[in-house]
Amino acid sequence: MSVSVEKRSGWFPPDWDDDERMSFLFSAFKENRDVDCTDWDGKIDFWSPLIIEHCRRCGSVCVNLQDLNENFRRKGSVPLGLSTVIQSMIRSGKVQKESDFAANVDSGWLSWGVGLLLVRPLKWTLSALLGSGRVPLEESFVVIELVKEKAAELLAAYRGSALSARSLLSFQELRSLSSHICPDESTLCMALLQLQREKHVTVSLHEGEKLVKFSQAGQGRVSPVSEVDLGIYQLQCSEKLLEERVEALGHEAEKCKQQAKSLLKEGKKSQALRCLRGSKRVEKKADRLFAQLETVKGILDRIANSQTDRLVMQAYQAGVAALRISLKGVTVERAENLVDQIQELCDTQDEVNQTLASGAPDAGEDSEDLEEELKSLMEKSVPENDLFPAVPTHPITPPRKTDLPDAAFVQFLPSVPNPGMNITDEELDRELRRLTVSDKGLPRESVSPQRRLEPAQ
């Protein structure tokens, strides 16, 4: 996992250019953390995330001490405390030995030949027995955070591809599908091991071919590889092979036809006929293979339909069971009894409402006595007509029109007897003149100063 100096120059933190700071970080750890916990924790906090980020940038999920010393070399010096950092990461669960990571694999992995991952290196075993705390340079460790990321990306890539319609894939097909996720076969195996831990993948070996089965979307865990899965896989392989053969024969027949045309243009009729006969034979063979291909596709369609029918039947069974539980204790007789009780209660409520609406019986005097008293009160009351004068019934005669002017008409009127009024002729004349001026229909000049009201007698 060594990386060129130019590529990893931009991977390091700003402290990498500080010689004094890096001299401290490259130095060895104290023998005991209790001596100086600040020194110890500072180095652990620097190197642990740097190792994880370095592996992420390289696209790997495994790391060993030898590669780390080479990749973190600075000005000819290598960090002296990386072995202690690895041991601290093991204790915190950030990394795990490959042998421990693959310890719980099933028999499918053993048939794949992944047993080399299960064997503990002899150097590590001896060092553990002797009580040495040193980490062997070639011991490989799995970065748990990164292998989980790769596993999630691999599962998402499978479910987002056209291969998701197939639950069983060959290892080579999966290798091609995940080439942009897992740079090598070892990384792919680690991601598959993590998916197996999460119950999303199982592996098997069939006729020398490595097979991988994924859990389908909506399923909590993957089921073991069954004979049905192997049969479907063989049919799918046959379908793919027949499609390739039919396509190749089609190209060959077309090539023969083009060759026959060329020979015919050159005047080589007999050779053109032979090429044309060869084209017909190829076409017949292609037709026969195409018929076989249609048969295989029909079988696969029937299998897919049967699986759908099986899911529908399971849903029906679950629905019937749930309905039976929900209707437990419910019978037609009980339902009819409840309806009768409800109807009886409704009738009782209607009767109560009708009784309340009729009102309480009158506890006072009889209604006839009340009517007699009311009649007597009406007779004693004063008629309303006595309060106002009688309305005239004869027609009202309109005032008679005269041809006299207003002043002459006033002169024509008889004098008002009022012996008690002491009004002089001059006052009456002024009053008459004022009334004449206020009349709009008669001009002021029409009033004769000679015509004056006679003094009242």
Q: List CB contacts of 119: < 8 A, sequence separation 6 or more.
A: 99
What letter represents residue 144's amino acid?
A: I
**Radius of gyration of the chain from its Cα atoms, rounded to whole angstroms:** 59
- Is there a contact between 13 and 50 (Cβ–Cβ < 8 Å)? yes
Structural element, H or E, at residue 215: none
* Cβ(203)–Cβ(213) below 8 Å: yes
The two three-digit tokens of residue 307, written as one number: 């699986």
CA-to-CA distance for 335 and 341, rounded, in angstroms?
10
Extract the tokens encoding 44: 């652990």
pLDDT at 271: 86
| Stretch (H or E) spanning 209 | strand 209-214
**pLDDT tens track of the chain, all 457 residues?**
555 544 555 678 888 888 888 888 888 888 777 777 888 888 889 999 999 998 898 888 888 888 888 888 888 888 888 888 999 899 999 998 888 887 765 555 555 555 434 333 333 333 443 344 577 888 889 999 999 999 999 999 998 988 888 888 888 889 999 899 988 888 888 898 889 888 898 888 888 888 888 888 777 788 888 888 888 888 888 888 899 999 998 998 888 888 888 888 888 888 888 888 888 898 899 899 999 889 888 888 887 777 677 778 878 888 888 888 887 777 888 888 888 889 888 988 888 888 888 765 554 556 777 777 777 877 766 555 555 556 566 555 555 555 555 555 556 555 655 554 556 767 767 777 776 665 544 444 444 444 444 444 4
Q: Give the whole-angstrom CA distance, residue 70 versus residue 248.
A: 51
Residue 108 has a pLDDT of 56
Say what the pLDDT of residue 436 is: 67
pLDDT (0 to 100) of residue 144: 92
Nearest-CA neighbor of 429 among 398, 444, 450?
Answer: 450
pLDDT at position 10 is: 61
User: What is the model's pLDDT at position 395?
Assistant: 59
Cβ(211)–Cβ(163) below 8 Å: no
Q: What is the pLDDT of residue 94?
A: 92
- What the block records as the tokens of 7 is 């590529």
Read off the amino acid at residue 337: N
Q: What is the dihedral of CA 405, 411, 415, 416, to 10 degrees?
A: 40
3-state secondary structure of 142: strand
According to the model, what pLDDT value does residue 219 have? Answer: 75
